[in-house]
A and B are shown apart, each in its own frame.
Chain A
């Protein structure tokens, strides 16, 4: 008798997760038809390919200096986008710069994601005073503008690319924690959670095996946006001299060191910025598309 009931509930929760699964399939299907998601996806794939295939995409080395050809204008010689003040090939440096940005994006988002998920999950799942304290703390952290927070953290840790990644990752944790908490709270109330709890699932199992996978959609959107944000922040930090250090081919740093050439070599200023713009645009487009598809409220 008892086992029968249990099997029933089990079946039911399986059914519900199967439903979620097909929802996911539908989402992927719809994404294909979503213009902004498609464009974003193509840009991102291009960006990742560029990072991985860098040495095969260009005959030059990013740090090869040749003073004799310094500040060569673009579209004239084999240096398609011209050269910088030290005669380094600009296109090559931009291509290699995608590696740095990819690493920054991935690592700092991983930091924010892992801590954000942990904090948000615990706070939303346990509720009560744990939640109150965590939320209070997060509210206070959010009172400090996050760009500022990032700058202070790197300034304290000392300027370097690694520290920049840590700073960007850490200062975004409150954002993620809040998003995760909100979707956990929404998911927690579902029947299948009660059912699984009655079947004796442990808190850990409930949190990581049931709630998290089912509330992943908004977290996913946030992470996609986050990669773009991280690339922008790291560029800003490098521009202020707090991130990547010369001679790294980091896009923000390339813009920073081009400042004195606004009068003489427009390409050194322009192209690295275009690279940042396109990449971040790709992530924003994908995130927009994801939000349209995953957030049923936005659908018409």
Chain B
């Protein structure tokens, strides 16, 4: 087990290195001069030259690459052109909002998705199965941003049930502790007995989390169904049934634990999709996270910020998938004990 984890960790290094390299060269070799793009069409040659020098763009490519690698290793992603702030600091400031949104979206999509998948698999070919699989297919065919707008239109504008955006009612001033507002709200509640912050945080989370979680939900439901159906065909399920284990237990304990293995992998892959989907969802809901920040960086052609953002998200994605793989091996005794 330990050996397995070490092996995975060793494999991680070339992957990370590769990601940084690809992102660097993609940006460096793309047509157009970042300095010119940043300064606009009417910039003078001198000012462009000055910026090129500041960004190190006048050095040979391999030198630039070497310098960039050195800085990335030190977790230095450069300075944002737009704000002048360090990219790593900007990421740090915007990260909690995205993490919070992603966690709730994940909780929503995984629980509901697995539940629907189990219902479908155990009632194969019934109208429940047909209905949830049809909805799942609709779910994966939908543009997230459109769903988000429709949600706003129905639940915020028409029914006035939820706010149209933001993370917190601005009237509730409080100093963030973890930056995860639900957690912070909970702390406030414990300290002062005031549930306002907690409730407002949850209130603001509902629509964006559901919108962001819809596609992963649909995928999870589909994979749960097919994985569970496959497991239910296995000999050991027949064994459990023939031994008189109750059907509920056969499904929720004996079958689901086996079916969980492929589900875990898929859920892990969705974290990447979630991070990317966050760009759209956060933009629609004015959610001050990494996605919205990256969107504005792209809009402003803020190269260092874009570069840093992409690298950060990709690396998080790789690390999360590593965690998922480790989790997988914990659930699967064949790997754990070898």
Contact = CB atoms under 8 A, between A and B. Distances in A.
Contact of A277 (B141, B149, B280, B283): B141
A144 B279 contact: no
Contact of B314 (A144, A157, A239): A144
Contacts of A280: 141-142
B145 A155 contact: no
Contacts of A158: 32
- B22, B149, B280, B313: most-surrounded residue (chain A CB, <10 A): B149
Interface residues of A, number: 45
Interface in A223-282: 228, 232, 235-236, 239-242, 252, 255, 258-259, 262-263, 266, 269-270, 272-273, 276-277, 280-281
B26 interface: yes
B149 A262 contact: yes
Chain B: interface residue count, which band? 35 or more
Residue picked from B27, B146, B150, B317, most chain A C-beta under 10 Å: B146
Given A148-B314, A239-B280, A273-B146, A155 B306 contact: yes
A299 interface: no
B128 interface: no
Nearest to A297: B230
Interface string B122-149: 0000000000000001101111111101
Given A145-B272, A284-B137, A273 B150 contact: yes
Contacts of A232: 141, 143
Nearest to B153: A262
Q: DSSP majority for the A interface? A: helix
Interface stretch (B11-19, B78-86, B100-108, B184-192): B11-19
Interface of A: 36, 136-137, 139-141, 143-148, 151-153, 155-158, 228, 232, 235-236, 239-242, 252, 255, 258-259, 262-263, 266, 269-270, 272-273, 276-277, 280-281, 284-285, 288
Given A156-B26, A272-B146, 9 more contacts: A36-B137, A145-B313, A145-B317, A148-B276, A236-B143, A262-B153, A269-B150, A270-B150, A273-B150
30 contacts: A140-B15, A140-B18, A143-B19, A143-B317, A144-B23, A144-B313, A144-B317, A147-B273, A151-B279, A151-B298, A152-B310, A155-B298, A156-B30, A156-B31, A156-B32, A157-B31, A232-B141, A236-B145, A239-B143, A239-B280, A240-B279, A255-B143, A258-B149, A270-B153, A276-B142, A277-B142, A280-B141, A281-B138, A281-B141, A284-B137
